Amino acid sequence: MVVRIPIKPKQRWEVVFKDNNRWQCGIYVPEFTSKDQVTWLEKHDGPELFYLVEGSIVLVLSENGKEIIEVPMEENTIYIVNEWHNAYRPKGVKGVALVIEKTNVKTEFLKLK
């Protein structure tokens, strides 16, 4: 049986499928519109897979919580993120990503400003 899940973002983060508490798939629409608005980063206890569905998203990444890099997501590319991260949609343009992660993920937060 095939399960079809239309991608219709309604909020910042929405889990659209879970597989028996092993992994989950969600739709992510960053709320920020520039790097300057990003005041915190998060880090999980396992990697996340990001895939740009449409639009434009820039990942904000840091391995040590101090040096920050910006990585514009490209179409047809998978990003595995295991470090401190957040994201934004440049100038508020449309930006939708598919995210796959383990369920019951533990998250730490790091304040930047």
pLDDT tens figures, 7-56: 888 889 999 999 988 999 999 999 999 999 999 999 999 999 999 999 99
pLDDT of residue 56: 98
Query: What pLDDT does 97 receive?
Result: 97
- Full domain range(s) for residue 80: 13-111
Residue 95 near residue 61, CB atoms below 8 Å: no
In a domain, 106, yes or no: yes
- How many domains is the chain built from? 1
CATH number of the domain bearing residue 63: 2.60.120.10
> Is pLDDT of 113 > 80?
no
Q: Is 91 left (phi over 0), alpha (psi -120 to 50) or beta?
A: left
CB 3 within 8 Å of CB 71: no
Contacts (Cβ under 8 Å, ≥6 apart) of 29:
9, 11, 12, 13, 89, 95, 96, 97
Using a cut of 0.85, tell me whether the model's pTM lies above it.
Answer: yes
CA-only gyration radius of the chain, Å: 14
As a whole number of angstroms, the distance between CA 83 and CA 73 comes to 16
6 inside domain: no
The pLDDT value recorded for residue 8 is 85
Q: What pLDDT score does 27 carry?
A: 97
| pLDDT, tens digit, 9 for 90 and up, residues 55-92 | 999 999 999 988 999 999 999 999 999 999 999 999 99
pLDDT at 6: 86
Q: Is residue 8 part of a domain?
A: no
